[in-house]
Structure formats: structure tokens, C-alpha cells
Amino acid sequence: MNNLILIRHGQSIWNLERRFTGWADVDLTDHGKSEAKYAGQLIKKLNIEFDVYFTSVQIRAIDTLEIILDILNKKNSEIKKAWELNERHYGALTGLNKDEMMKKLGKKQVHIFRRSWNVPPPTMKKTHPNHPSKNKTYINIPTDKMPDSESLKNTFERVMPYYEKNIKPLLSSNKNILIAAHGNSLRALCKKLLNISNKKIIDFEIPTGNPLLITFGKNLEVKKYKYLDDKRARNILFNV
């Protein structure tokens, strides 16, 4: 058997401010760094020897992984960074306060934008200060691949080809993998790995800084999965 650990980055500044973040490159809060440290301690207790580490190109995920690697005494490990593992793009909602948008658009509509399978938020104009084309972090991403807005389905469609090419072969070879990424890129992965339906994925949420351990048997059959911090798992693991 081999293992995959998925961890959403620790609390970011915009998580704290309840702002839609998406592709905006936002740092961790002090609490977010503490979440990452605690996650590292939980992972360390498993005594798993990881073969490969993956993350997105966004600073909050990279910092989370680096904090974890420090706890694991693996500071100099190679990290594979991929923009395909970025958070989903929240379009014109980027930077806006979620509570204010609920007052303006209604809770139901905001919930649809946040959790639905195939409904993207309104498109972000290329003149917007948070458009990916204006961020040097994304300079190597092909222009035609830069989103103006994404649904979870759109995110799934960029995450899965990367997974199939770069991560699945390693898992098939019984490698242990750790991925630090984002709420929606990890929801996309979980949809595939845990066979979550389009309907159920709406209610599937991943908390910040809580490692999800997935253990595989033969032929990548999922044997078991659990959050390492039971107290923060909430009621989000259900019959998928």
C-alpha cells in the first residue's frame, strides 16, 4: 500500500478578510503558518517516507509545503510546482468580500459561484489589476491557458491532465506523495479519486491546514481516507 496526502494551504490573509482569492497571490497569516506547522507535526507522526512533493505556483501553498518540510526535516527536498494545481479563478469576484457579495447577490447565488460544479463567476476583464497576465508569478503560463474565470469543472479539466501525466504514474509505482494546494484544486482531485458525483461535490469542502490521508491498495484502489485532525474535519467526509 502507498499513501497520498492532500493539504489545503493554511489560512491566508484574504481567507481571514473573507475575500475571494483565486489566482491573487496572497500570503499566509500567522495563524495560517501555525496551521501548516501543526499539519507538519501530524504528518510526521505517520512516519511516512515521501518520494515526491507537489504544490501550485501560488505563495500560500508553497509556504505551507515549505513549513511542513521543515517540520519533517526535509527542507532541501525537490518540490514540483505546477500552475495546473492553482486555486480556481474567481473571475470578477476576485478581491471582493464574500459577506458583501451575499448582501448584493443573495446567499444562494454566492453559494452557486463558490460550490457549484459548472457555474463560473462573472469574467474578469484583462484590465483588472488582479488579472493573471499582470502577475509575474504566471509569466510562464501560455496566454491561452490563463483563465478569466473558472467553475470547478474548468478547474477539474486543468488539474486532471496534470494528475494523469505527472502524479498518477508515481502513485501506480507505489510512491508516497504529498500535495499542498488549494480548496478547489483539491476538490477536483478528490472528485476523481473518491468518485464524488457532480451533485455531491457541491457539499464537499476542504478545510485549511488539515491533511487528508488517502491510502491505496492494488490498482490505485482507495482503501481508506481520513483527516489527520479529527477535531477540524467537520462533517465533510460522507458517503460520496
Domain that holds residue 208: 2-231
Q: Is residue 169 part of a domain?
A: yes
Q: Tell how strand 52-55 and strand 2-8 pair up.
A: unpaired
Q: Is residue 163 part of a domain?
A: yes
Give the closest residue to 10 by CA, choosing from 74, 72, 55, 75: 55
Q: Is residue 238 part of a domain?
A: no
The mean per-residue pLDDT over the stretch 99-125 comes to 94
For 91, the grid coordinates are 473571475
Distance (Å, whole) CA 110 – CA 113: 5
List, by residue number, the catalytic residues.
Answer: 9, 87
For 184, the grid coordinates are 478547489
Contact 177, 51 (CB under 8 A): yes
Find the helix packing angle between 59-71 and 30-44, rounded to 10°. 40
Q: How far from 112 is each of 43, 87, 152, CA to CA, in Å?
A: 33, 17, 11
At 240, the pLDDT band (50, 70, 90 cuts) reads: very low
- The model carries a pTM of 0.95
Q: Is residue 236 part of a domain?
A: no
Q: Is residue 172 part of a domain?
A: yes
Radius of gyration over every alpha carbon of the chain, rounded to an integer in angstroms? 17
| pLDDT at residue 234 in the model | 56
Give the closest residue to 53 by CA, choosing from 160, 190, 175, 189: 175
| pLDDT at residue 235 in the model | 52
In the chain, the number of structural domains is 1
Q: Is residue 56 part of a domain?
A: yes
The CATH number linked to 99 is 3.40.50.1240
Q: Which residue in this structure is represented by grid cell 494546494?
A: 181
Q: What is the pLDDT of residues 46-86, one digit of tens each?
A: 999 999 999 999 999 999 999 999 999 998 899 999 999 99
The mean per-residue pLDDT over the stretch 92-108 comes to 96
Q: What is the pLDDT of residues 168-187, one digit of tens each?
A: 999 999 999 999 999 999 99
